[in-house]
Amino acid sequence: MSRPRALAVAALAALVAACSREAPPPEPVRPVVLARVATGALQDVAVFPGDVRPRHEADLAFRIAGKLVERGVDIGASVRRGQPLARLDPADVALQAQAQQAAVAAATTEHAFARAEFERFESLYRQRFVSASALDQKRNAMNAAAARLEQARATLAVTRNQATYATLVAPADGVITAVAAEVGQVVAVGQGVMKLAETGEREVAIAVPEHRLDELRAATHLAVALWADPRKRYAARVREIAPAVDPATRTFAVRVAVPGADASLAWGMTANVIVAGAGDPSGALVPLGAIYHDRDGRPAVWVYDQASGRVALRTVELGRFREDGATIRAGLRDGEWVVAAGANKLVEGQVVRPYDRPALAAAQDAGAPAAEMLRPAPPR
């Protein structure tokens, strides 16, 4: 085959291949989540997580040592004031009380004998049969016997009290939150057996960074919301701020009282203390996922144009980050839409497709399949 003919065949093959090549597929329209911008009266809100705790909580312990023979309550039990909670073996304290009662009887007999001796010597002294020194000795013996009798009686009272200490009773109405001893265990004096949380005012314990302590003190309104039910709010107030910062976490321990707490505010539940400060009439709050940065590193957001369906990157003046979003001081207008999720996947002028939230909710209520519910809304 000649060279010109070979070149012609190669050109013809290339032309056929070019004609058979498929056109590139169109770029898919990326779905995004949008958030509407609302400016004006932006309230400065801070959220501090914590847990619900009782105002008064005490470790209960026996005032004597002994072997635990009975425990009548478990964790979570509601108790009343004066209710028996646990009991030690009463044999030893009962024997001690009996021994001390016998000691009181012996001291009573000695005192009676010493008193009779003194009275006899007093009669003999009046008759000049004994000296004054002998009478003084009998008087001293009678006084010493009387003192020993009082000592024996006081010791008997202490021993009887110790016999009652063998039973641990609830000092107030409350709930048992911890148990640290079991039946058969030998406990020492003052060793914690269980923990009692008194029923009454509930509090939320939070840790506040040192640079935000003034923000908490200057707050105009405090509220508590449970993590399990964030829609319900309880009025609160700061009851106590620790005088010293924690050296490890550099935070202050703060107790926030909840005077109007009900039964749903159970001990140990996770709660958020919401601190409302002054408002910003020109600021706006956007989701944290909406914050993006341009090539120069300046904060920006993707603004969605409803007419064209395209997005444009706009630099903004960023305020501070909060638990519920980021504040924008300037750069956005009221009523605009910004991309709240998927901002890092966009380019300038890209056509996007917003999720149809009402259609998604209706599909969930109707029991639509998951794939159908996740299908993005048509372009607008």
Looking at the structure of the chain, the number of domains it has is 4
CA 227 – CA 270 distance, rounded (Å): 6
Residue 59's Cα: distance from chain center in Å? 19
Residue 379 lies in a domain: no
97 and 180 both lie in a single domain: no
pLDDT of residue 227: 86
Show pLDDT as tens, one digit a residue, over the chain (380 residues): 556 565 565 666 655 555 555 555 666 777 888 888 877 656 667 788 999 988 888 899 998 898 999 999 999 888 999 999 999 998 888 888 888 889 999 999 999 999 999 889 888 888 888 888 988 898 999 999 999 999 999 988 888 888 888 899 999 888 898 899 999 999 999 899 999 988 878 899 999 988 888 888 877 788 899 988 888 889 898 999 999 988 888 899 999 999 888 878 888 889 999 887 655 556 788 888 888 888 888 888 888 888 888 888 888 888 777 767 787 888 888 888 888 887 777 788 888 888 765 543 443 344 333 323 233 333 34
Domain that holds residue 64: 59-89+166-199
What is the model's pLDDT at position 106?
A: 93
Cα-trace Rg, the chain: 42
151 shares a domain with 129: yes
The CATH number of residue 291's host domain is 2.40.420.20
| DSSP conformational letter for 29 | P
What CATH code is carried by the domain that includes residue 265? Answer: 2.40.30.170
Looking at the structure, tell me whether residues 150 and 191 fall in a common domain. no
Is 13 inside any structural domain? no
3-class DSSP assignment, residue 318: strand
**Is there a domain that residue 150 lies in?**
yes
Is the pTM here over 0.85, yes or no? no
Q: Is residue 152, in this structure, part of any structural domain at all?
A: yes
| pLDDT score recorded for residue 373 | 28
DSSP for residue 167: E
Tell whether 298 and 263 lie within a shared domain.
no
Q: Are residues 268 and 213 in the same domain?
A: yes
| Model pLDDT, residue 112 | 93
Residue 158 is predicted with a pLDDT of 85
Whether 103 and 77 map to the same domain: the answer is no
Could you tell me if 49 and 369 are in contact, meaning their C-beta atoms sit under 8 angstroms apart?
no
Q: Are residues 63 and 195 in the same domain?
A: yes
Same domain, residue pair 216 and 258: yes
Longest CA pairwise span in the chain (Å): 172
For 330, the 3-state DSSP assignment is strand
Last residue of a domain, one of 142, 165, 188: 165
